[in-house]
Structure 1
Amino acid sequence: MRLVSLLFVSIAVTMLLFCGVSVAKPLNDDEILVQIYAGSTDKLLWFDRRGVSLNGMMLKSLLDDLGVEIEPLATTTVKQRKQADINYTKALLSVIKRKVAFGHETLYLEQVKLLQSIDSERLGEYLYSILPELDEVYRLRSMIGEYKRKINIPWPRISEYQFRLGQSSNEVKRLRWMLTQLGDLEQSELTRYRESIYDPMVIEGIKSFQLRHGLDVNGNLDRYTVEAINVTPLQRVEQMQRNLWRWMSLSSLNGERSVWINLPAYQLSLFEKGSVTLQMKVIIGKPSSQTPILSTHLTNLTINPSWRPPASIIQSELLPLNSKEPGYLNHKKFELHGVGLNNTQVIKLADVDSNQLPNLLHQYRLVQAPGADNALGQMRFTIVNSQSIFLHDTPAKQLFKNRNRALSHGCIRLENPEALSKYFVETDKTARELDKAIGGKETRNFLLTSPIPVLITYHTSWVDREGKLQIRPDIYNLDMEI
């Protein structure tokens, strides 16, 4: 009977959501524990008479990887097993609350899913659903386990120093050992004398480490390299655990096609059926104008777009530039467009005194015409959001060579927008029209009949397809918020 009632609750919740009505109030921990264990004093979810059950092992593994601790209890007696079982359930409830904060379900709906999985004896399936079933998640969890085996090893510290080839030092010996532990140097049998020598092998190990950490690959023990090497395995475990929590918001990557933009990596990846089919560099918002974390959809593509800069950019950058270099805005093909009843009126800035421009902006809108100098480049991809964030081309291609690419006002600039545009081609006719538009000068819009999910996320650590742990600077200082 209870399962039937829960199914009715689930159907009712779905109908309420469809009708735009707010859903029922979630239960507190005591209330949901009563629901879970109601009607049976000896009911266990995670234990049996022999000890931890298979579901219990799955949950314990998940909790360990997420860094959620459970108070260790004896499980010899029935009473002890029951209390240990309740502790496991409480830990799962704490995970569910945090999952809701990262994801898009309400706490009430997540509680309904949990109760249904218990009643239908599909608790294992529910545990699998907490994190998306992606290779990236499995690799990160495996790396967390690997680093946990290192946390009790005393981790030395090294100092910033410029060694000479052939120089002998105990500092080199420590450095060689650390790089070997981190996987940037292969294990090798060296004499005690040789392992203290600064040689090309050590330099290559430093470069490997720098590449994995998004640092300048120069082979030198500079400040940033030393700071990163001195991070202990325990600190890396904690960082990876924070990033594992972030994966809870990425379940929609399981779809047919998805765009994933990882901000600290400055990278866009296109997933098709779980595999990456396209990758490119991106430029993201500066720390002072951060690109927001979003879960949205890509809906249309504009070829040869115009650009309407926001008032903040006009006042802080464009007008000062035009004052410093009179005629700058006209040279960059900016115009004044009428608003309201005068929305068809266009005034060329060649006909406007630069001193009059601030006053005219009370009546007109500043717009940059399509062309080679347009800040949006030749393509603008519209993603649904309320913060005027776009994916777009850029005329400043040289900036993609920078290691630090947090340079924009919040929008995301694409290294290879034309490659992404190919995914708008749904028919041969669309392909011909798109090619024609790219080769022309007119503004053209292309609408996707099936919008592509877009996830803009913030991962400072992940494991690549070669099994190497990748670390990137916490550019927005968000890691400590988890």
Structure 2
Amino acid sequence: MLAAPALAQSEAPGALSGEAWQTQLADASARLSRLYQVRSERPIWQDAQRVEALVQALGKLDADGLVPEDYRPGELQEKARAALADPTNAEARARFEIHASRTMLMALTHLQRGKVDPQRLSSDWELDVEPPDLDMAAISQALDKGNVEAAFDQARPSFDPYQQLREGLAHYRRIDRQGGWPTLKHEDVLRPGDSGESVERLRERLAAIGNTEVAAADASFYPTIELKAPNPHAYDDTLVEAVQRFQRHHLLADDGIVGPRTLKALNMSVDQRIDQIRANMERARWLLHGLPESFVLVDIAGYDLRYFRPNGETWRSRVVVGRPYRRTPSMRSEITHLTINPTWTVPPTIMREDVLPKVRRDLGYLQRQNLSVLSPSGERLDPQSVDWSNPGGVMLRQQAGASNPLGRLVVRFPNDQMIYLHDTPSRGQFARSKRALSSGCIRVEGVMELAQLLFDDTGTPADASRLVADGETRNVLLDRHVPVVLHYWTVQPEPDGELAFRPDIYERDDDLVEALDKPITL
């Protein structure tokens, strides 16, 4: 606890004034100036107990996945002792006042919008992080009451997913303090009906994260009582259900068999899961602000799309996203129109890397794929007339139809990377547990149903099924634009209260955690 100098506590909160104070205010940043403007320039940190409350609040930021030492709480205490010990040294007290407020505002900014700049981590990031929007009046009122933690709560994201991640982080840290969970042997492939010590370790592993129904009691503690606990060595139905739930939460085939992939997920360390949660709390701070009530959210790593409708209902579907070497970018845009019975112009990357090598080997590939060769101005060309070793600006276009890669419908929104949501003739891909299979765009299961919901919810008089059946290629403008967000989550709170951990398909978590742990300059 920071010792409270008697002389400093005797000063009234508004006692700091004069040339030294005005000099510090004149050099303050815009946000810092705004804080003191709402306070009529009254200082905050001339009371040792209030400084101690700030130190305590900074120390609790690890509950949000941040690093408390970034904000130098120990250094803040030392500076407070030096500055507040002599109430006659107005210059020292003024400097400390500004230093403490600057530290607090940096912490609040990191808590509200994130510590890490996502654009420095990923070149394909197209999702703007809005500037901090701190309610200085509410923060000032909390500080006047001596409740620094309430001031921090003003900045902390209030959305349920963030709170669930925060609770999950606390849960996994408790597991870590209790010694973690057992590791299963790599040769262990367990199936329903198996028995043995490996099954017991599996029970312990699942019980550690909250599956108490599979926990086996130790009969030696109660030798005279007939326990109704499961046989610890038996792979029974209850354990099968727990394994299947674990598999679903980790995007694995939920067959109840502990094979190599399930074993790998089970053997991820507690520390790795804690880091994964921290990374996704930072992603939540980037995203969970300024969202409308109704929007389309694509969860890239979760292969999932949710449309939060204006009536409060949520439409959900499976999606296919970009391969690791053709990543689907994170972005925010607005759905403006839908293309019915689309043609498909081969994008430059696919043209260069996929199609041209096949055409050079066999010119008949164009006819088999129903691809027309067009000049840059759109005129049809004879494939025989093109120098395919150096085709210049020619385009390849596939006509609308059942085999078109875009299927029968495309949902479009402006962006620099030509990304959109679309139908697909390869519907069997939706049954796969890992669906990073596209060239960057997002294939949506049941996209026809999504299209009709978009028409209905925006008051657009259109019948998706009838338009598709008509066979004509056309664009249908939405009467109102619908926001769309594409984002990358490797941890997602589930309705049953558990956290779902996804494979880091684009290998982004480690870089983000490293950036979170990198010290900052105050």
**TM-score between the two structures when normalised by the length of structure 2:** 0.72
- Mapped partners of 2:467, 2:373: distance in 1: 25
- Mapped partners of 1:26, 1:414: distance in 2: 50
Tell me the number of residue pairs that the alignment of Structure 1 and Structure 2 aligns: 445
Aligned to 1:147: 172
Report the CA distance shift for 1:143/1:266 in structure 2 as closer, same or farther (over 3 A): same
1:288 match: secondary structure: coil
Deviation at 1:450, TM superposition (A): 2.4
Aligned to 1:346: 380
Q: 2:257 aligns with which of 210, 220, 223?
A: 220
1:373-432 Cα deviation digits (max 9, x unpaired): 111111111121111111111111111111111111111111111111123325999444
Whether the 8 Å CA contact 2:458–2:479 is kept in 1: the answer is no
2:206 match: secondary structure: helix
Counting aligned pairs with the same residue, the percent is 26
Whether the 8 Å CA contact 1:65–1:241 is kept in 2: the answer is yes
Q: 2:325 aligns with which of 268, 273, 288?
A: 288
Q: 2:107 aligns with which of 63, 73, 91?
A: 91
Q: Are positions 1:424 and 2:454 aligned together?
A: yes
Aligned to 2:339: 302
- Mapped partners of 1:278, 1:359: distance in 2: 47
- Mapped partners of 2:490, 2:306: distance in 1: 16
* Gapped regions of structure 1 (runs ≥ 5): 1-24
Deviation at 1:284, TM superposition (A): 0.6
Report the CA distance shift for 1:38/1:323 in structure 2 as closer, same or farther (over 3 A): same
* Gapped regions of structure 2 (runs ≥ 5): 1-26, 85-95, 119-126, 221-230, 513-522
- Mapped partners of 1:430, 1:34: distance in 2: 49
2:170 match: secondary structure: helix
Instruction: Kindly provide the amino acid, as one letter, of the partner of residue 53 in structure 2.
Output: V
- Mapped partners of 1:218, 1:26: distance in 2: 60
Q: Which moved more, 1:285-294 or 1:181-190?
A: 181-190
2:281 match: secondary structure: helix
Q: Are positions 1:332 and 2:358 aligned together?
A: no
Aligned to 1:266: 303
Deviation at 1:138, TM superposition (A): 2.2
- Mapped partners of 2:291, 2:150: distance in 1: 16
Q: Are positions 1:135 and 2:160 aligned together?
A: yes
Q: 1:472 aligns with which of 469, 490, 502?
A: 502
Whether the 8 Å CA contact 1:253–1:274 is kept in 2: the answer is no
2:478 match: secondary structure: strand
Whether the 8 Å CA contact 2:328–2:441 is kept in 1: the answer is yes
Q: Are positions 1:173 and 2:211 aligned together?
A: no
- Mapped partners of 2:239, 2:115: distance in 1: 42
Deviation at 1:287, TM superposition (A): 0.6
Instruction: Kindly provide the amino acid, as one letter, of the partner of residue 204 in structure 2.
Output: W
Whether the 8 Å CA contact 2:460–2:479 is kept in 1: the answer is no
Deviation at 1:262, TM superposition (A): 0.8
Q: 1:235 aligns with which of 272, 283, 297?
A: 272
Report the CA distance shift for 1:145/1:411 in structure 2 as closer, same or farther (over 3 A): same
Aligned to 1:68: 67
Whether the 8 Å CA contact 2:372–2:380 is kept in 1: the answer is yes
Instruction: Kindly provide the amino acid, as one letter, of the partner of residue 269 in structure 1.
Output: R
- Mapped partners of 2:480, 2:47: distance in 1: 41
Whether the 8 Å CA contact 1:382–1:390 is kept in 2: the answer is yes
1:2-39 Cα deviation digits (max 9, x unpaired): xxxxxxxxxxxxxxxxxxxxxxx994999999999996
Q: Which moved more, 1:243-252 or 1:26-35?
A: 26-35
User: Which protein has the larger Cα radius of gyration, Structure 1 or Structure 2?
Assistant: 2
Provide the alpha-carbon RMSD of the alignment: 4.2
Instruction: Kindly provide the amino acid, as one letter, of the partner of residue 66 in structure 2.
Output: G
- Mapped partners of 1:27, 1:393: distance in 2: 50
Q: Which moved more, 1:217-226 or 1:84-93?
A: 84-93
Aligned to 1:392: 422
Whether the 8 Å CA contact 1:282–1:405 is kept in 2: the answer is yes
**TM-score between the two structures when normalised by the length of structure 1:** 0.78
Aligned to 2:185: 159
Whether the 8 Å CA contact 2:129–2:287 is kept in 1: the answer is no
Q: Are positions 1:195 and 2:232 aligned together?
A: yes
Instruction: Kindly provide the amino acid, as one letter, of the partner of residue 402 in structure 1.
Output: R
Whether the 8 Å CA contact 1:389–1:412 is kept in 2: the answer is yes
- Mapped partners of 1:40, 1:458: distance in 2: 43
